[in-house]
Structure 1
Amino acid sequence: MTSRAHRPAHDDDCAQTESPVGGQEFPLPCQAVLFDCDGVLVDSTRDGERAWTRWAQRYDLDPARVLDGVHGRRSRETVELFLPPPRRADALARIEALEIEGARQTPPMAGAHHLLNDPPMPWAIVTSASTQLVHARLHAAGLPLPPVLITGDDVDSGKPAPDGYLEAARRLGVPIAACLIAEDSAAGVRAGQAAGAAHVLGIGRPALQTTATTVVRDLSGLRWTSTALRMRAESLLRPLPGSPQQVGKHRRNTQER
């Protein structure tokens, strides 16, 4: 795929500014954005947990143990954790059917529609879900298919291996070191960091349990220009390193000791 030309970031694009809707903004300079899907663009957590609970019960497994190993991992890898080889093919087909059945009413995450409306730079989705499942969830949520889609079917090694993100950057024609990755899971954040992305941005409260250096509440506090993804200060759950919020928090913690 041929991507549009990428111009270097101007100083104005990278500076802290006032948002058009008011409040401070902080930029994360980049030339492309690579999104995880589940928990970032679509709110599929409950649907997925219901499907995996039914699956676990079908195979006489502890649902809590199964759910602990699901997030950010490909279905076949979860199946391999719990079942012997002779049972895996049937079990994988069953969980795929259960998840697709549950995807019919998957809603978008807050801010996803707005952010993906006329994106000003190349973008991709990199997900552990199967191609069929991610199509079903995006369709139910009313979100567009990306210019590049990398699913669990497309790579030899899933997250936390960096393969998916590296392949997405290659197909977009953008160096991975110029890409921003948006993730919510520990495995996904590790994959983005291992890939060497410019930024790995945590999305949602679950991302506070990851090694993402910056975490925002959801996508509603973000907007992008042709050279950066910009975050409104009030959307930050874990402040950008070096920002006034982060410095202030560090000072308060120091004074309390």
Structure 2
Amino acid sequence: MIKAIELVIFDCDGVLVDSERLAVRLQVELGAELGWPLTAHEVVERFIGRSRESIVEQIAERLGAQTAGLWWELLIQRHRDAVDLALDPVDGLPEALDGIAALALATCVASSGSHEKMRHTLGRTGLYGRFEGRIHSASEVSRGKPAPDLFLHAARRMGVDPAACAVVEDSAPGVRAARAAGMRAFGYSGGPSPAERLEGPGTVVFDDMRRLPELLAAH
């Protein structure tokens, strides 16, 4: 028997805050500056949804550890500056959160980003208070996405059976991690990741965040 959904686990970048387009642009710029020309498509394929360790490892293999460290340092600095200039919640996200609250479902965040980064982006968009105390980072587990560790960790901390969890993600590693954790995966294709990158067995793909409450209710 399929368990009813009790907990909705949100990724942060690209799902709660509209930051993935910004991150893709910055990664393309840094690649051009530091010696690894990348297209936006290649950045999405290689980096989006991955942990810091995974991204830095890929850059180090290509350009060396010193350049990889500089790349990440510049990325953090430029991302923070850009967020301070302008960052909004994902379109339709506030309405989706209100609809999920009406369904009496618990929520939390589980992201590859650091706690510091999430405090900044969620704070900048006025969302931090809606998740405070229920925010989990890949820094808390040994393996990042696409391994299931982060989502299983979030479920344990929230006291919910993984089978009663739904994950809202916008990256291929994220939806794979959700499926590996035995959770229902909802792939948001309204950002840089195309729908075909999110499709897979048991994944519901959607492009309008306002539809999320009705999709959760139906699954």
TM over 0.5: yes
Assess if the C-alpha contact under 8 Å between 2:56 and 2:69 holds in 1. Answer: no
Residue 142 (str. 1) matches residue 132 (str. 2): no
- Residue pairs, 1:43-54, within 5 angstroms: 43-54=18-29
Q: CA RMSD in A?
A: 2.5
**CA-CA distance at 1:66 after TM superposition:** 4.4
Structure with greater helix percent:
2
- Residue pairs, 1:9-158, within 5 angstroms: 29-64=4-39, 65-83=42-60, 84-104=64-84, 105-117=86-98, 119=101, 120-145=104-129, 146=131, 147-158=133-144
Which sections of structure 1, spanning at least 5 residues, go unmatched?
A: 1-13, 15-27, 232-239, 241-257
Assess if the C-alpha contact under 8 Å between 1:169 and 1:179 holds in 2. Answer: yes
Structure with greater strand percent:
1
Deviations 1:201-255 (A, max 9, x none): 111252442225321222212337xxx9336xxxxxxxx8xxxxxxxxxxxxxxx
**CA-CA distance at 1:67 after TM superposition:** 4.9
Assess if the C-alpha contact under 8 Å between 1:35 and 1:183 holds in 2. Answer: yes
**CA-CA distance at 1:190 after TM superposition:** 0.3
For 1:97, give the aligned amino acid.
Q
Residue 216 (str. 1) matches residue 202 (str. 2): no
For 1:252, the equivalent position in structure 2 comes to none
**Secondary structure at 1:41's aligned position in 2?**
coil
**Secondary structure at 1:182's aligned position in 2?**
strand
- The structure with the larger Rg is 1
Deviations 1:140-163 (A, max 9, x none): 222234242112322221100111
Match of 2:164 among 178, 184, 188: 178
Match of 1:200 among 182, 185, 188: 185
Distance (whole Å) between structure 2 residues aligned to residue 136 and residue 213 of structure 1: 30
Q: Percent identity?
A: 31
Q: TM-score, normalised by structure 2?
A: 0.81
The number of aligned residues is 202
For 1:230, the equivalent position in structure 2 comes to 217
Q: TM-score, normalised by structure 1?
A: 0.70
Distance (whole Å) between structure 1 residues aligned to residue 188 and residue 65 of structure 2: 35
